[in-house]
Structure 1
Amino acid sequence: MNHPSLLDQARQWQVLLHSGRATAADRAAAQAWRQAAPEHEQALREVEGLWSLLGQIERSAEQPQVRVLRRRRLWAAPLACAAMLLLALWLPRGTWIGLYADISTQPGEVREVRLADGSLLTLNGDSALDWQFVDGRREVRLYRGEADFQVAHDPARPFMVSAGEARIRVTGTRFDVRLEEGGVDLAVSEGRVLASSAGGEPRPVVGGQQVQWRGGAL
């Protein structure tokens, strides 16, 4: 497994701290990481310098001066695009997902989340997902990484998981889903789930069984 560089780790901490999702524990963990070694401090200083540059570009694009309205129209969009391009090139792959996902974890971090229906999700490191309860269904979308699902039993409200091309439907059981560049792995610990590709015929998978999606096919 390839471990992220110090700069990648510093970037991820910086994004988390400026995402609006950082908790007091997150800020304390970031400070502890910073103080763990001089190399960590140097990496964060480099990242903070580039973050400040991004802020200056965005502020230049947003200055509300009526007398130069035509000039703003000519330059605001290119400056904003330059800021977005610079940010996209600077951030490690997958960081954007962590900004808009309902929950995400840093590399090496494990987090438990209790949903409103009583289901328990355990996210492995460097993972991200969304969830929503709508129209009598419970839906989760895994964007990256790995999650263990202990789904509260509720036959009236199916629990749906999407991960890449994988589609998984349950009413109450325990299973693990891992999404990587090569495909998706599903391992069922207890109970029974229905697994399919997008638009494909569901296949039952029971406790002790595993299935994989490769190239979009189950």
Structure 2
Amino acid sequence: MTQNTLSEAEYDAITDAAAHWCMRLHAVDCTADERRAFEQWRDADPLHAFEYEAMLEIWDVAEHLPRPEPSVVVPLGKPARTWRQYATAACVSALAVPLAAWAGWNMGWLPNSYQHFEASGNVRQVTLSDGSRVELNLNSELTYANYKDGRHVTLKKGEAFFEVSHDPNHPFTVRAGEGRIRVTGTRFNVWMYEDQVKVNLIEGSVLVTSNTQLPGDGLRLGPSMQARYRHGDFMPQISQTYANDSSLAWRSGKLVLDNLSLTEALPQINRYLAKPLMLADNATGTIRVGGIYNVKELDSLVTSLPKALPVYLTRNKDGNPVINSMPQQPPKS
């Protein structure tokens, strides 16, 4: 685009294009040619990329909208849109028209408040529109949407500590991975790395489910309990935490590794690294590591591993550091 000031019609055309590409790229029949065409459109002007990112946030809001009833009729001769595509279209329209937005709020379809937060180089404290406080760990991201019948957070990546404003008639739900944490008012921590999720409850109670597609509200946690789940789990694994639990050390900028195997430690270390550490084999993963580290200085931990453990480092074809165990010396005869 060469003009410094766009007309309303030109701006609307870019918004419409962004909505089109958002829907096409999420469609199962999107082709490689279409994806290349989208990349050309996106890279043609910074405003294109900006509008597309804004449309992705609307898409996230649509995640919480209800699915249409099976009786919805789709005209013959046109590809059937998914429920989420209908929801996104509804969001775009309703957010643009105040009256429709008001109606969408009263029907429980649309939020009256939407917030997006990220923390990159520093821990970040934010306050949600309902008064709840959230502390975001490094490299973390979440969104919040306030609906008439509930408050919805999506933890997109990383880790967050929640202090939820008590409101039994307005449940607070956190989506993390394939699961969900449901509360009314409490203090708890949620950590997510790849397909792993861990929930630590400090105060109050929460219901944790490992898969939102399964019936029921999940398993209840009480104070000093934690739940773990990952992709494909039928239900979370529940365990007790103890006074020396270090799960919240990140709030003080620390990572505590309490005699963990490298297999257990790497997910905690990798969330702070630009290039995640890899294990050469399962045997290397059994080597144990401990210590207290500054989360902003974990690159130095990587380089110091060969000094503290019987390992050496190599690089794979993607440039990731790989931990290899030192060969065992044969016994002397």
Identity %: 37
How much has 1:117 moved relative to structure 2?
Answer: 1.8
Q: Give the Cα–Cα distance (whole angstroms) in 2 for the partners of residues 133 and 78 of structure 1.
A: 36
Runs of 4+ in 1 over 3 A off after TM superposition: 77-80, 82-86
Change in Cα spacing, 1:167 to 1:79, as seen in structure 2 (3 Å) is closer
The CA deviation at 1:115 is 1.5
| Distance of 2:173 and 2:39 partners within structure 1 | 37
Q: Distance in 2 between matches of 1:130 and 1:213?
A: 21
Bigger relative CO (Cα 8 Å, ≥ 6 apart): 1
> Which residue identity does 2:160 align to in structure 1?
A
CA contact (8 A) 2:177 2:195 kept: no
Q: In structure 2, what is the equivalent of residue 149 of structure 1?
A: 162
Shift of 1:79: 6.4
- Name the CA shift for 1:85/1:212 in 2 (closer, same or farther; >3 Å): farther
Aligned-residue RMSD, C-alpha: 3.1
Q: 1:204 aligns with which of 209, 213, 220?
A: 220
* CA distance in 2: counterparts of 1:180 and 1:102, whole angstroms: 19
Could you say what secondary structure the match of 1:102 adopts? strand
- In structure 2, the CA distance between the partners of 1:85 and 1:184, relative to structure 1 (3 Å rule), is farther
Asked if 1:139 corresponds to 2:155, the answer is no
Shift of 1:181: 0.7
1:12-32 C-alpha deviation (Å, 9 max, x unpaired): xxxxxxxxxxxxxxxxxxxxx
What whole-Å deviation, never above 9, does each CA across 1:160-202 have from its counterpart, x for those lacking one? Answer: 1101111111000000011111411111011110011213331
Opposite residue 198 of structure 1, the aligned amino acid is: T
Q: What CA distance in whole angstroms lies between the structure 2 residues aligned with 1:195 and 1:79?
A: 42
Match of 2:196 in 1: 183
User: 8 Å contact 1:183–1:216 — kept in the other structure?
Assistant: no
- Secondary structure at the aligned position of 1:81 is classed as helix
Q: 1:104 aligns with which of 118, 126, 131?
A: 118
Report the alpha carbon displacement of residue 156 of structure 1 after superposing the two structures with TM.
0.8
Shift of 1:215: 2.2
Aligned amino acid, residue 170 of structure 1: V
1:214 alignment partner, one of 230, 236, 247: 230
Task: Output the amino acid matched with 1:180.
Answer: Y
TM-score by length of 1: 0.55
Task: State the shift of 1:114 in Å.
Answer: 1.0
Q: Distance in 1 between matches of 2:130 and 2:186?
A: 13
Whole-Å separation in 2 of the counterparts to 1:152 and 1:176:
15
Structure with max Cα Rg:
2
Matched residue SS, 2:208: strand
2:211 counterpart of 1:195: no
How far has the Cα of 1:85 moved from its partner? 7.9
- For 2:43 and 2:196, the matched residues in 1 are separated by 28
Partners of 2:157 and 2:219 lie apart in 1 by 23
Pick the aligned partner of 2:137 from 118, 124, 129.
124
C-alpha distance 135-215 of structure 1, shift in aligned 2 (>3 A): same
| Unaligned residue ranges in structure 2 (runs of 5+) | 3-34, 45-52, 58-114, 237-333
Q: Provide, for residues 132-184 of structure 1, a one-character-per-residue CA deviation record: whole Å limited to 9, x for no partner.
A: 11122111011000000000111111001101111111000000011111411
More helix by share: 1
| Unaligned ranges ≥5, structure 1 | 1-57, 60-76, 87-95
Offset of residue 82 of structure 1: 3.4
By how many angstroms is 1:119 displaced? 0.7
Secondary structure at the aligned position of 1:116 is classed as coil
Partners of 1:117 and 1:141 in 2: CA distance: 15
Determine the C-alpha separation between the residues in 2 that align with 1:115 and 1:156.
Answer: 17
Partner of 1:155, secondary structure, is: coil
- Please give the alpha-carbon distance, in whole angstroms, between the structure 2 residues aligned to 1:182 and 1:141: 15
**Alignment partner of 2:181 out of 151, 154, 168:** 168
